[in-house]
Amino acid sequence: MEEKTTDNRNTFAIKTFLKDYLDLRKDKDNELETVDSIRKGVEFKGANLWILIFAIFMASLGLNVNSTAVIIGAMLISPLMGPIMGVGLSVGLNDFELMKRSLKSFLITTLFSVTTATIFFLVSPVAEIIVLSGGGRCGSSRTSENSPFVELITPFYHFNLITVDPDDNKFVDCAISANAHYIVTNDHHYDVLKDIDFPKVNVVNIQQFCIYLSQEK
């Protein structure tokens, strides 16, 4: 009898422990308040729109300098989830009016995003530098493939010198194959090349490269 009582107490203690730690109802918000919050978050005006514009500027800068961290940061502050959650809620509640408002806001945010990114890349002073072989000169990303200062290089060996971002290795292999004087970049993933003696690849940032150009003149 005592053993059965002890087993019942242990079972009750285990159930109480699991209920206290795993019960989701304690943190459950009021459904009406949640729905109302999502409805209000659908509208894209004022502060939300300005936050989106600056997030797009940040994402464009990250793409321009090939920085994954900056792009992720832009994703974190972007308020685009408002219209997306509104579409999901409208489907769940069969609310056609909310669906129209959400899609309208989503189209507006898309328009502002594309416009902001276009303006950024039109006025951005940061340009990707193409490093050429031999006695060739260097040009910016505005240089086309038909330019006499651009040489097509096909690397036949992959050194895989960069492990943090393997996608950058194609530029390193190209620079080695072309006997390039420098790789010009502000991407810190290339800093590892400074500690590698062979094959030796010189890495400079854009500011240093501009100084080198001014000295040559």
Q: What is the pLDDT of residues 99-147, one digit of tens each?
A: 888 888 889 888 999 999 999 888 875 544 444 433 333 344 444 456 6
**For residues 12 and 164, what is the distance between their CA atoms, to the nearest angstrom?**
51
Is the pLDDT higher at 165 or at 41? 165
Q: What is the CA radius of gyration of the chain?
A: 28
Asked if 82 contacts 55 with a C-beta cutoff of 8 angstroms, the reply is no
Instruction: Evaluate if residue 192 carries a pLDDT over 70.
Output: yes
Average pLDDT value for the chain = 78
Strand, helix or coil for residue 211: helix
Q: For residue 188, give the nearest of 162, 160, 159 by alpha carbon.
A: 162
Structure tokens at 105: 């806001």
Instruction: Evaluate if residue 28 carries a pLDDT over 60.
Output: yes
pLDDT confidence of residue 188: 87
Asked if 151 contacts 132 with a C-beta cutoff of 8 angstroms, the reply is yes
pLDDT confidence of residue 138: 39
* Buried-state track 149-175, b at ≥16 Cβ within 10 A, e below 16: ebeeeebeeebebbeeeeebbebbbbb
pLDDT confidence of residue 111: 92
Strand, helix or coil for residue 26: helix
H/E run at residue 180: none
**For residues 126 and 29, what is the distance between their CA atoms, to the nearest angstrom?**
46
Helix axes 81-93, 96-123, angle to 10 degrees: 160
Give first-to-last CA distance, the chain, whole Å. 99
Asked if 193 contacts 203 with a C-beta cutoff of 8 angstroms, the reply is yes
Is the pLDDT higher at 156 or at 200? 200
Please report, as a single letter, which amino acid is at residue 187: D
